[in-house]
Amino acid sequence: MAEAQILDGKSLAAGIRASLAKRVARLKRERGITPGIAVLLVGDDPASQIYVRNKAKAAAEAGFLPREVKLPASASETEVLRTVEDFNNDDAIHGFLVQLPLPPQVDALRVIDAVDPAKDADGFHVFNAGLVASGRGGVVPATPLGCMALIRLARREMAGLEAVVIGRSNSVGKPTAQLLLRENCTVTIAHSRSKDLASIARRADILVAAVGKGELVRGEWIKPGATVIDVGINRIDLGGGKSKIVGDVAYDEAVKVAGAITPVPGGVGPMTIACLLQNTLMLCCSRLGIDLPGE
């Protein structure tokens, strides 16, 4: 069996960010507009803090105007909703997101519902979810967009392929399944109540794992030659104060069987950030009523 192709999300994302930087510079030059992206972080979850920092850094590097608002973990739902409303009304902000998870006293659905769909960089608002599900445009969530770009590195043509998505979250599993369906794959969505996950997974020419359970998917679950996209980010405690990040797929086993596979880290994660910026530029252009500028 030939070595699996490593789907390098880091370098693909760097290429997208470089292209976005040129487009943003052109928008500035020709229209005098700098696309603004804002992130609301509530509380002090260490992983969320890292994600938000990485997003702001990537945004600034690509020429966007990043804005970060932090509220304490004790913030009330009213305070969170007020910040969302401020973002909705701020003409300098073209796209924004509320970093999840939110503290228990804040209803995440109510907050997502309050985001102006025209500024919904994450594509989590039900209006955008509906448009995406019915193939009528809308903002596609960044992680599924990134997954599709990675799959395309290995599969130019997806029509007729068996695709299995493990996980049915609104942010990752469901929209990824919809995008695979749009590519004419035969799509199965598996979840915590699915029976005999291993044999479902083994059918997949394209296997997407978005579960949040470290190394759940074993090498023997993978069809030889399959394209494997590992969305999971799981911190494993190694003892003695040490830990490491693993995906939902047992990489060392899977890499021996798969035709192509994403590493963790360095696969889907960097693509999520690049696609988030892409969504924000797209929202900025549609607000201005113009096409995406060329490089």
Active site residues: 55, 99, 122
Q: Is 151 in the site for ligand NAP (CB under 6 A)?
A: no
147 binds ligand NAP (CB under 6 A): no
The residue among 162 and 285 lying less far from ligand NAP, judged by its C-beta, is 162
Whichever of 121 and 210 has its CB closer to ligand NAP, that residue is 210
Nearest-approach distance from CB 265 to ligand NAP, in angstroms: 8
179 binds ligand NAP per the rule CB under 6 A: no
Of 123, 132, 74, 76, the closest CA to residue 98 belongs to: 123
Which one of 14, 21, 153, 233 is in contact with ligand NAP (CB under 6 A)? 233
Residue 212 found at the interface with ligand NAP (CB under 6 A): yes
Instruction: Specify which residues 227 forms β-bridges with.
Output: 206, 260
The residue among 4 and 231 lying less far from ligand NAP, judged by its C-beta, is 231
Q: Does 192 bind ligand NAP (CB under 6 A)?
A: yes
Among 97, 185, 268, 283, indicate the residue that binds ligand NAP (CB under 6 A): 268
Nearer residue to ligand NAP within complex by CB, 168 or 223: 168
165: which strand partners?
Answer: 189, 208
Angle between helices 268-288 and 142-154 (to 10 degrees): 120
Q: How far is the CB of 58 from ligand NAP (least distance, A)?
A: 12
Three-state DSSP state, 237: strand
Query: How are beta strands 36-42 and 95-98 bridged, if at all?
Result: parallel
Q: What are phi and psi of 228, to 5 degrees?
A: -115, 120
As a whole number of angstroms, the distance between CA 234 and CA 214 comes to 5
Q: What angle do CA 146, 193, 195 make, to 5 degrees?
A: 100
Three-state SS at 124: coil
Largest distance between two CA atoms of the chain: 57
Please report, as ranges, the residues that interact with ligand NAP according to CB under 6 A.
143, 166-169, 171-173, 190-194, 197, 210-213, 216, 231-234, 268-269, 272
